[in-house]
Amino acid sequence: MSSAVRRAMASTISNPTSLKHGLSLWCSEVQPSASSVNRILQPSSSNFFPSRCFRRNFVAAAASSSLSSFANENREFVIVGGGNAAGYAARTFVDHGLANGKLCIVSKEAYAPYERPALTKAYLFPLDKKPARLPGFHTCVGSGGFRQTPDWYKEQGIEMFYEDPVTGVDIEKQTLTTNSGKLLKYGSLIIATGCTASRFPEKIGGNLSGVHYIRDVADADSLVSSLEKSSKVVVIGGGYIGMEVAAAAVGWKLDTTIIFPEEHLLQRLFTPFLAQKYEQFYQENGVKFVKGASIKNLEANSNGHVAAVRLENGSIIEADTVVVGIGAKPAVSPFDGIGLNNKVGGIQVDGQFRTSVPGIFAIGDVAAFPLKMYNRIARVEHVDHARRSAQHCVKALLTSNTPIYDYLPYFYSRVFEYEGSPRKIWWQFFGDNVGETVEIGDFNPKVATFWIDSGKLKGVFLESGSSEEFQLLPKLARSQPLIDKAKLQNASSVEEALEVAQASLQVGADA
């Protein structure tokens, strides 16, 4: 039974304020960002969204009298944000033949959309181990799609604005303003602004040189140049960002310490058993752990560069590079005050990603959507949802009869994958981590955890599975079959446990 996970989740439900302000607070309330399905109770009102259908509720173009006042030529569809979700949305517009001359993307970053998870994985490989660099991981590499380089957008007739964040929106005039002062017109607007990394306050050293937060390529480049000069790295946060960065830093052969306030790594997903296996592996590979610790402040040397991390208990850990991975907050500020419902944290949408303002949609990390299979509103900060929500939203916008989004939560992480690493680690989790757990396997290399609630299999975690085994996981988590717990517990290997689980699918189908 994963009581810690349930506690964390329960506190999320009962405290929507913590969602609104993101998951991460410094000191003892720091929460890992891993596997963050942020749970929010369904609103009681069933008519929260206007009943009128606003599919195809886009304007063809601006009125001719004001044509020249808008900086964009493509005005039918505008996406704000140039990240994972935007890349997949663009591809879906192209698939429907509705990108050329119609779609505009406005991004804060200098790069076309790319696969963000790479930033704390192959991007941080040691420099002699072929680290990933753009254009190598533009959308949709990794999910079987065509690689969408900046040229791809040009060829598809998609208008791109780089390094010019949107600062405001006028929903009456259907216009956007950007940081550089551009005025853009939209017919339909898709908000795909993702999240921003939570930071430590400046007064405790959160902005010192040598202190890093990782959200985009510029952040990752800055970290790489620090690592080149570094000898002592402290990673703050025991979520997936912290775990991935710590694994990378020991790959660089740097003295690496990971600090977090919880009892164990990835507390929102890992059971104590799983955490113990991973912590042991990390320790064997040189990572030091400081658990149950709160940060007091980050200290600087005489040059203003970070030199140490001081804990609340008075101890000091030397560092010349500090990486802070304490969660993220939905990037909603340009859309404050326009009547979008963001009480739940993020922007609330319906099962077709429509916000409460006709013609405005939200996808990816920023969207709080109905998680149909568990009957609750959730915000999911994971790439699989970014991809699927983008595709679903655009299909719903462009075609009729698109069903309600029916997402199955899926998380993964990959660490120690650089050439010559002692062991490549790749785990996947599908479903809901509620109920009791059954854990099988010795982590040599496989391990599996099954979550069972009211006799039903609710969630399943697998490390180092074969591709057939990984393919079974979503089927199990989606079907939630009744499962014989005793039989599962008696399985002598992960393979046998998965066979027991697979057989339970069959029983359900036969019943």
Closest chain position to ligand FAD (CB): 83
Please state the closest distance from residue 126 (CB atom) to ligand FAD, in A.
Answer: 18
**Does 383 participate in binding ligand FAD (rule CB under 6 A)?**
yes
Using CB under 6 A as the binding criterion, the count of chain residues that bind ligand FAD stands at 39
| Residue 116 interacts with ligand FAD (CB under 6 A): yes or no | yes
Q: Does 117 bind ligand FAD (CB under 6 A)?
A: yes
Q: Point out which span in 12-20, 108-116, 279-287, 485-493 binds ligand FAD (CB under 6 A).
A: 108-116
Q: Is 120 in the site for ligand FAD (CB under 6 A)?
A: yes
Does 384 sit near ligand FAD (CB under 6 A)? Answer: yes
Six-digit token pair at 429?
A: 């989790």
Q: Using CB under 6 A, pick the residue from 386, 425, 488, 498 that binds ligand FAD.
A: 386
Kindly indicate which of the ranges 193-201, 252-260, 285-293, 445-453 contains the residues binding ligand FAD, using the contact rule CB under 6 A.
193-201
Give the nearer residue to ligand FAD in terms of CB position, either 105 or 452. 105
3-state class of 359 per DSSP?
Answer: coil
CB of 119 to ligand FAD, least distance (A): 4
SS (H, E, C) 437-449: EEEECCCCCCEEE
Task: Give the 3-state DSSP-derived string for 388-421, with helices as H, strands as E and coil as C.
Answer: HHHHHHHHHHHCCCCCCCCCCCEEEEEECCCCCC
Contact 296, 204 (CB under 8 A): yes
Cα maximum dimension of the chain: 75
- Treating both helix axes as pointing N-terminal to C-terminal, what angle do 240-251 and 272-284 enclose, rounded to 10 degrees? 20
Q: Is 109 in the site for ligand FAD (CB under 6 A)?
A: yes
d(CA 90, CA 96): 10
Assign 469 to helix, strand or coil. helix
DSSP 6-32: HHHHHHHHH-HHHHHT-S--SGGG---
Footprint of ligand FAD on residues 437-466 (CB under 6 A)? none
308 touches ligand FAD (CB under 6 A): no
Least distance from C-beta 385 to ligand FAD, angstroms?
7
Cα separation, 53 vs 400, whole angstroms? 11
Q: Using the rule CB under 6 A, is 159 a contact of ligand FAD?
A: no
66 to 105, contacts with ligand FAD by CB under 6 A?
A: 80-86
Give the tokens for residue 49. 């969204």
- Min. distance of Cβ 144 from ligand FAD in angstroms? 16
474 or 508: CB nearest ligand FAD = 474
**x/- map, 198-217, ligand FAD, by CB under 6 A:** ----------------xxx-
Q: How far apart are alpha carbons 413 and 411 in whole angstroms? A: 7
- Return the residues of window 387-416 that contact ligand FAD according to CB under 6 A: 411-413
Q: What is the DSSP letter of 41?
A: P
Extended beta strands in 119-179, E state: 159-161, 166-170, 175-178
> What is the distance of C-alpha 36 from the center of its chain?
8
Regarding 256 and contact with ligand FAD (CB under 6 A), the answer is: no
Interaction of residue 23 with ligand FAD, rule CB under 6 A? no
Q: Report the site for ligand FAD in 313-352 (rule: CB under 6 A).
A: 331, 334
Query: Which residue lies nearer to ligand FAD by CB, 470 or 499?
Result: 470
Find the shortest distance in angstroms from Cβ 490 to ligand FAD. Answer: 33
Q: Cβ of residue 216: shortest distance to ligand FAD, in angstroms?
A: 6
Residue 196: name the closest of 414, 366, 38, 341 by CA.
Answer: 366
Q: 37 or 331: whose CB is closer to ligand FAD?
A: 331
Q: Is 64 exposed, middle or buried (0-12, 13-18, 19+ CB in 10 A)?
A: exposed
Return the structure tokens found at 271.
Answer: 């059971």
Is 166 near ligand FAD (CB under 6 A)? yes
If one asks whether residue 381 binds ligand FAD (CB under 6 A), the answer comes out as yes
| Of 322, 124, 120, residue with least CA distance to 234 | 322
Residues of this chain that bind ligand FAD (CB under 6 A): 80-86, 106-109, 116-117, 119-120, 165-166, 192-195, 214-216, 240-241, 331, 334, 364-366, 381-384, 386, 411-413
